[in-house]
A and B are shown apart, each in its own frame.
Chain A
């Protein structure tokens, strides 16, 4: 059967070609969601006893779906690099676009650069050496593992992690995309290995494996029984009854991961078929659903092998600071659990490699997304002109990368040396959360605030009666998103409730807003009207 010829006439004319395939963008989003990063599995059982992990993760995924769909409309209507910045400056004007993105992404993601170094050191290298030390009965390897958990060990790894990412990305985006495939399949292998271990180990032998691993890692005998007793002594219920409220509150924690389903929008200008509704649905909604299901599967695997008692113990170590519920200073992360349940060095290496590469990928994502936004802001004259300069040979924004690397160094030190700083990590989820929720709102307003752009987009034909679907989905997504953002500020179990947290969160927003007005004023003195960058010229 031959294909039907489209009823259009074309002529010889040059065209635009984009670099990133939809499949690469799909992978990019899955990796950005941190498939194997595990806060939900420790934080939720500790802070929200009675909450069901699997249901909470699936709920977060469900709540993120309308947001992801709003991004599908936005991305097909405005398929340009710097996604969120473009969407919001179009819908709300330059002030809001700049203030929200500068505070929520450019400044707060510096904390992610520090965090990814911590992940690499603490969850990648440390378990690798600790696991090899335990399985090979080698104390020197275990000692190296412990060094990777020390503040200076993490600082050294974090700086090198950021530096390596800088070198890779400055050398050309194509080099990153090449490495991304290696990272993706390694991470999938690590994830699959963890699932296999968690779903095939007999729950009956679970305690025995865990205790043996604790001894091999330099701990005492009967680790699990000791941890259970300490947890009980701390007044924590090992078998809490089901709580619907706690289950609902698991969703904002799981949103820490799934909210990143839309991060590829920052590279829309580089994605092939970025204007295709089908491609963007696959990239944004598809990656979300796949990741949501995989995260829920991991939760089901941990519950299956360890039961609610283990979840209560691991949560107590993380949330309530029960020292006995840690092995050699490690909280009972899913990877530690999987490493503990197997006696195979190969499995240890596979899992550790996955974590190492995902940690490295996270720092790359920080640079890729943020530098594109910085270039956009610089072209709009809100950041210095040199930020947007692209290297003639390398074709990359070298200055933006260098500036971001330098800015991340003090944050890395603060994160690892100032104990009150690390809990602010949740601020990243909060801040990026308001960026994503605001973009969802921008999607809802797109048909009214950028009518022509919307009308020319492929999504314009989808309406419920006379109401555009993007308005309905974007509105629902914004309500869900802002509800989760608000919950961080008011629910103690979700964390951002200290004076320091409020000061930092609102201080960063204020600094960004002030920056906007100062930059605008400075440019005005040079005869440049910053507002021109955002104003749409009336065609009639």
Chain B
């Protein structure tokens, strides 16, 4: 009788998931260190890894000036400059020190701004791959990283590096997590009002998912690492926006903002249909939540990268079952 006999159980796998770091240097460093800190085997980064803002640090006669959080700061010493650079790293902003003339040359030229963004974002991602390789070397911890809708495909090439030991770019592939479990990753999202680089209509997202699913041998032991959360799952709640304005503005009815689920129908259908063990999602920063869709535990740890806070979710699983999960705020 099983009541009296103790069944030999496999040691559970511990996974830490974080997402939407948006270029935040400090948060990424915490993410890499979280492997040892939380004693996990697997790290998963769920997309939207590149920053949104570039701060020109303009040289002046007696130092530098930079505009941060709506305020122009004048820096007269190298120590002050270093302090600013550290703050920009925490906030996930890129920066470039430039002459006034160079700034004016770039300011009115969207193509030049784009090129500069790409250059700095690629450089940061390359540094991140190096950092992961250095810090995780010999630990046995593997770090799986995918892009999100905010990440430009050209910039994302920086994470696809051959010969890495710990850092694994996993998008669009089936990856083996441990001897029992696999993970599939999709970083694209359905259209947003911001018209970000990697958006596709929901039916195309469904096709993308359906294309990869047949490669999974045991779906009930699979993790769906899909950046877009399932529609109306509480992992996707945010204000409804007017797409015709730039930037998009919240829709207000009877004096109040209208809230809705902004996730993907095709992601939801895939989870309902295939019932994987676990769904890892992000995209909607303000919608930290965990929900069950059938047997599948779906989590969105949310994101507070701007505060230097690493939000994440620790998940313990074995033999196709989630044994426990815990939201963290590191």
Nearest to A172 among chain B residues (CB) is B259
Cβ-defined contact, A533 with B328, below 8 A: yes
Give the contacts of A10-29 with B (CB-CB under 8 A): 10-19
Bound CA–CA A398/B330 (angstroms): 27
Given contacts A19-B259, A177-B256, A539-B29, contact A13 B22 (CB under 8 A): yes
- Across the interface, which residues of B come within 8 angstroms of A174, CB to CB? 256-259
How many angstroms from the CA of A172 to the CA of B254 in the assembled complex? Answer: 14
Give the residues in chain A near B326, CB-CB below 8 Å: 381, 523, 528-529, 532-533
Given known A7-B72, A395-B234, contact A14–B53 (CB-CB < 8 A): no
Known: A6-B70, A7-B65, A540-B29. 18 other contacts (CB 8 A): A5-B107, A7-B56, A8-B54, A11-B54, A12-B194, A14-B196, A15-B194, A174-B259, A379-B327, A390-B234, A390-B291, A392-B291, A395-B234, A452-B90, A453-B308, A527-B324, A535-B37, A539-B33
- A14 adjacent to B149 (CB under 8 Å): yes
Partner of B234, one of A175, A392, A534: A392
Shortest beta-carbon distance from A403 to chain B in Å: 18
Q: A233 on the interface (CB 8 Å rule)? A: no
Name the residue on A nearest B256 (C-beta): A174
The reply to whether B54 and A16 contact each other, CB–CB distance below 8 Å, is no
Say whether B66 contacts A7, CB under 8 Å: yes
Cβ of B26 within 8 Å of any chain A Cβ, yes or no, is yes
A9 pairs with B304, CB closer than 8 A: no
Of the candidates A16, A388, A537, the one whose C-beta lies within 8 Å of that of B34 is A537
Among A79, A395, A535, A536, chain B packs the most CB atoms within 10 A around the CB of A395
Which residue in B247, B256, B304, B330 is a CB contact (below 8 Å) of A536? B330
Known: A15-B247, A18-B286, A533-B328. A178 touches B34 (CB 8 A): no
A275 neighbours in B (Cβ, 8 Å): 69, 306
Known contacts A18-B286, A178-B255, A456-B91, A13 near B52 by CB under 8 Å:
yes
Q: Does A241 contact B (CB under 8 A)?
A: no
- Find out whether the CB atom of A17 lies under 8 angstroms from the CB atom of B52: no
Q: How far does the alpha carbon of A32 sit from the alpha carbon of B254 in the complex, in Å? A: 23
Contact present for B117 and A9 (CB under 8 Å)? yes
Using Cβ atoms and an 8 Å threshold, which residues of chain B touch A77? 307
In the complex formed, the residue of B with least CB distance to A177 is B256
Interface string of B20-56 (1 = CB under 8 A from A): 0010001101100110011000000000100011111
Q: Does A391 contact B (CB under 8 A)?
A: yes
Top 10 A-B pairs, shortest CB-CB distance: A539-B29, A537-B330, A13-B52, A9-B54, A537-B30, A390-B234, A174-B256, A456-B90, A7-B67, A17-B239
Assess the B285–A456 pair: CB atoms within 8 A: no
A445 within 8 A of B: no
Tell whether, in the assembled complex, residue B38 and residue A532 are in contact, meaning their CB atoms are under 8 Å apart: yes
Taking the closest CB of chain B, its distance from the CB of A278, in whole angstroms, is 9
How many angstroms from the CA of A534 to the CA of B113 in the assembled complex?
39
Determine the chain B residues whose CB is within 8 A of the CB of A466 once the complex forms. Answer: none
Using CB atoms, name the residue of chain B closest to A79. B307
A389: chain B residues at CB < 8 Å are 291
* A8 lies within 8 A of B53 (CB): yes
Q: Which residue of A lies closest to B56 (CB)?
A: A7
Query: Which residues of A does B touch, CB under 8 Å?
Result: 5-19, 77-80, 172, 174-175, 177-178, 181, 269, 275, 379-381, 388-393, 395, 452-453, 455-458, 460-461, 523, 526-529, 532-540
The distance from the CB of A397 to the nearest CB of chain B, in whole angstroms, is: 10
Measured CB to CB, the closest approach of chain B to A304, in angstroms, equals 38
User: Cβ of B283 and Cβ of A14 under 8 Å apart?
Assistant: yes
What is the chain B residue whose CB lies nearest that of A11?
B117
| B54 contact set on A, CB distance < 8 A | 8-11
> Distance (Å) between the CB of A506 and the closest chain B CB?
30
Please give, as numbers and ranges, the residues of chain A lying within 8 Å of B34 by CB-CB distance: 537
Cβ contact within 8 Å between A13 and B33: no
Give the distance in Å from the alpha carbon of A64 to the alpha carbon of B270 in the complex: 54
**B contact residues around A537 at 8 Å (CB):** 30, 33-34, 37, 310, 330
Distance, CA A381 to CA B308, complexed state (A): 23
Q: Is B76 an interface residue (CB 8 A)?
A: no
In the assembled complex, the Cα of A532 lies from the Cα of B14 at a distance in Å of 14
Is B234 in contact with A12, judged by CB distance below 8 angstroms?
Answer: no
A452 in contact with B283 given A14-B149, A379-B288, A392-B232 (CB within 8 Å): no
Pairwise interchain contact A181-B150, C-beta atoms closer than 8 A: no
Which residues of B line the A interface, CB within 8 A? 12, 22, 26-27, 29-30, 33-34, 37-38, 48, 52-56, 58, 65-67, 69-73, 83, 86-87, 90-91, 103, 106-107, 113-114, 116-117, 149-150, 192, 194-197, 232-234, 237-239, 241, 247, 250, 254-259, 283, 285-286, 288-291, 304, 306-310, 314, 316, 323-324, 326-330
Residues of A within 8 A of B250 (CB): 17
B258 and A456 contacting across the interface, CB-CB below 8 Å: no
Whether B56 contacts A9 by the Cβ 8 Å rule is yes
CA distance A78 to B304 in the complex (A): 9
Chain A residues positioned under 8 Å from B58 (CB to CB)? 7
User: Assuming the A-B contacts A8-B55, A392-B233, A532-B314, are A269 and B37 also in contact, with contact meaning beta carbons closer than 8 angstroms in the complex?
Assistant: no
The reply to whether B87 and A455 form a contact with Cβ atoms under 8 Å apart is yes
How many angstroms between the C-alpha atoms of A80 and B309 in the bound complex?
Answer: 11
Q: Which residues of B contact A540 (CB under 8 A)?
A: 29
Distance, CA A172 to CA B259, complexed state (A) = 9
CA distance A535 to B237 in the complex (A): 27
The verdict on A453 contacting B307 (CB below 8 Å), with A390-B234, A537-B30 known, is yes
Distance, CA A390 to CA B34, complexed state (A) = 28
Residues of B close to A14: CB separation below 8 A: 48, 149-150, 192, 194, 196, 283
A523→B314 CA distance, assembly (Å): 13
The answer on a CB contact under 8 Å between A12 and B26 is: no
Q: Cβ of B238 and Cβ of A17 under 8 Å apart? A: yes
Chain B residues near A536: list those with CB within 8 A: 30, 330
Assembly CA distance A526 to B33 (angstroms): 24
Also in contact, A9 and B307, with CB within 8 A (given A174-B259, A392-B234, A527-B323): no
Q: Is the CB of A9 within 8 A of B113?
A: yes
Inside 8 A of B30's CB, which chain A residues have their CB?
536-539
B26 partner residues in chain A, CB cutoff 8 A:
452, 539
Asked whether A12 lies within 8 Å of B196 as measured between CB atoms, the reply is yes
The complex places the Cα of A138 from the Cα of B10 at a distance, in Å, of 79
Task: Report which of B22, B55, B285, B316 forms a contact with A527, defined as CB distance below 8 A.
Answer: B316
22 contacts between A and B (CB under 8 A): A6-B70, A8-B53, A9-B116, A10-B53, A17-B241, A17-B257, A19-B239, A77-B307, A177-B255, A178-B254, A379-B327, A390-B234, A393-B232, A452-B308, A453-B307, A455-B87, A456-B90, A457-B307, A527-B324, A532-B330, A539-B29, A539-B30
Q: Is the CB of B150 within 8 A of A13?
A: yes
Residue in B30, B37, B150, B307 whose Cβ sees the most chain A Cβ within 10 Å: B307
Q: How many Å lie between the Cα of A175 and that of B256 in the bound state?
A: 8
Contact A13 B194 (CB under 8 A): yes
| Bound Cα distance A78, B326 (Å) | 20
> Contacts A6-B67, A9-B56, A11-B52 given: A19-B257 contact, CB under 8 Å?
yes
Question: Nearest chain B CB to A189's CB is how many angstroms away?
Answer: 18
Q: How far is the CA of A14 from the CA of B228 in the complex (A)?
A: 12
* Most chain A CB atoms below 10 A, which of B52, B54, B117, B241: B52
Specify the chain B residue showing the minimal Cβ separation from A176: B256
Q: How many angstroms between the C-alpha atoms of A371 and B86 in the bound complex?
A: 36
Q: In the complex, which residues of chain B have a beta carbon less than 8 angstroms from the beta carbon of A5?
A: 107
**Residue of A13, A18, A175, A540 with most partner-chain B CB within 10 A:** A13
Bound together, the chains give a CA A7 to CA B328 distance in angstroms of 35
Bound form: Cα–Cα A9–B107 in Å: 8
A9 vs B66: C-alpha distance when bound (angstroms): 12
Q: Are A533 and B55 in contact (CB under 8 A)?
A: no
Measured CB to CB, the nearest residue on chain A to B30 is A537
Q: Are A380 and B87 in contact (CB under 8 A)?
A: no
